[in-house]
Structure 1
Amino acid sequence: MQLSKAHTFLLLTFLVAMWGVNWPLSKYALEFATPLLFAGLRITIGGFILLLFALPRYKYINLKDTWHIYLISALLNIILFFGFQTFGLNMMPAGLFSTIVFMQPVLLGIGAWLWLGESMNGFKIVGLILGFIGVAVISITDGSSNISILGILLGLASTITWTFGTIYMKKTSTKVDAIWLTTLQMIFGGIVLLVAGTTVENWTDIIWNQQFISTLSIIAVFCTALTWLVFFLLVRSGEAGKIGSFNFLVPLIAIVISVFFLGETITTKMVVGLVLIILGIGLVNLKMKSLQKHSNMHRG
């Protein structure tokens, strides 16, 4: 199905906006819930919503031959990615943390060059260098309570697992149905996170008030399930490559919302680091837009 330019723009705007608001919303939700149980709830709910759209495609599931792909993808893209992400987000400002995680396009460019045979170029190299310098600047300790070295490491771990998960999905994309892969990895990964959370956390620690329930619902429905449906609609229409060029906006949206609605502060050192990271992401995506229009995959 070919989308009009207006429809493509609207879908991309929705996708990037939801990825951006996801970070401050998740940060807010963690005031009422423990990390693993929250991550498990949002992913499991999102997975079962996607199941409604996957069931009509039951002929494409092929679990007998591809079950291992679903499991490995769930481990990388859900269990480790959201596990690291949720714990790290609890330790750092949402806008700053999202910027570190969204260095993923930079690392993906390197990984795609090493393992997928995609081209390496000056834009990617400069982007990688700027990105890592930015993280180094942010990591310099000055007694600021806003910066957690462990949080930065968890952000980088989240980025690395997302990178390997995306590369693995690319390498196996011809063997599995994309919607079934996303649905099952969410359901399986979400249940694993819930079991882990039940083991080491307490359900009684969750404050089931209106604020938490409404925030969890928005995150699960809009920032998880619907963003993936929009992503696949763009993929099918041949517009997936444009997502990469919009990725640098996600941390900016997260930062603006976090500053105005969560009262987070930005120091000079953080601004310098953020600018370097966002420039790095922008340079990588600038080239990826033209070179990888039909093959690039990213998510929030």
Structure 2
Amino acid sequence: MYALLSAVFAALTAVFAKKGVSNIDSDLAMAIRTVVITVISWGLFFWKGNVSGIGTLTRQNWRYLVFSGLATGLSWIFYFKALQMGKVSQVAPVDKMSVAIAILLSVVFLGEVLTWKMALGAALIIAGTIVLIL
């Protein structure tokens, strides 16, 4: 259910961002969205009372969360620029190709097992993306 809700809100993100990025700098649009997300994230964190969890973070947690944040930031920079220049119906599918890339990276870097179903699913995502952008 959470994954489905995530997909719905990700779709709304693309549509709202396309409307919001029109006639302004894409970096400004991304910065505004980032502030909103930051307020929501920290608000939820404090509201749930998880403050003691900060002390349990290890160096590895910090390192990989910082790397993840950097990757997210770079992804958003390119995503907003792509939305500004292209159609949502073409940008969003290419962006979602990250699912196929994540599958491959999880095998290489995390040692996850690549099943034939996962390989076929990744291949279909890539093929579907190519069909949608052509």
- Which TM-score applies when normalising by structure 1? 0.36
- Whether 1:209 and 2:54 are equivalent positions in the alignment is no
Q: Which residue identity does 1:191 align to in structure 2? A: V
C-alpha distance in 1 between matches for 2:131 and 2:108: 32
- Whether 1:155 and 2:3 are equivalent positions in the alignment is yes
* Pairwise CA distance, 1:170: 2.5
Give the 5 Å matches for 1:1-300: 153-174=1-22, 176-206=24-54, 207-221=56-70, 223-232=71-80, 244-245=93-94, 247-248=96-97, 250-265=98-113, 271-272=116-117, 275-276=120-121, 278-279=123-124, 281-290=125-134
Match of 1:51 in 2: none
C-alpha distance in 1 between matches for 2:119 and 2:4: 14
- Which TM-score applies when normalising by structure 2? 0.70
Q: Which residue identity does 2:74 align to in structure 1? A: L
Q: Which residue identity does 2:51 align to in structure 1? A: W
Deviations 1:231-283 (A, max 9, x none): 45556777x957845753x23332233235434445x6xx436624751x334
Deviations 1:151-197 (A, max 9, x none): xx211111111102211222344365432222111112212211111
Contact persistence 2:93–2:129 (CA under 8 A): yes
Contact persistence 2:93–2:132 (CA under 8 A): yes
Structure 1 stretches of 5 or more lacking a match? Answer: 1-152, 291-300
Give me the identity figure in percent: 20
If you compute each CA radius of gyration, which structure gives the higher value, 1 or 2? 1
Structure number with higher relative contact order (C-alpha < 8 Å, ≥ 6 residues apart): 1
Q: Which residue identity does 2:131 align to in structure 1? A: K
Deviations 1:185-230 (A, max 9, x none): 1112212211111121422223232111111211112x12222334
C-alpha distance in 2 between matches for 1:236 and 1:165: 14
Contact persistence 2:106–2:112 (CA under 8 A): yes
Structure 2 stretches of 5 or more lacking a match? Answer: none
CA 1:278–1:161 in structure 2 vs 1: closer, same or farther (change >3 Å)?
Answer: farther
Please state which structure has a larger fraction of its residues in helix. 2
CA 1:172–1:252 in structure 2 vs 1: closer, same or farther (change >3 Å)?
Answer: closer
Q: CA RMSD in A?
A: 3.3
Q: Which residue identity does 2:76 align to in structure 1? A: W
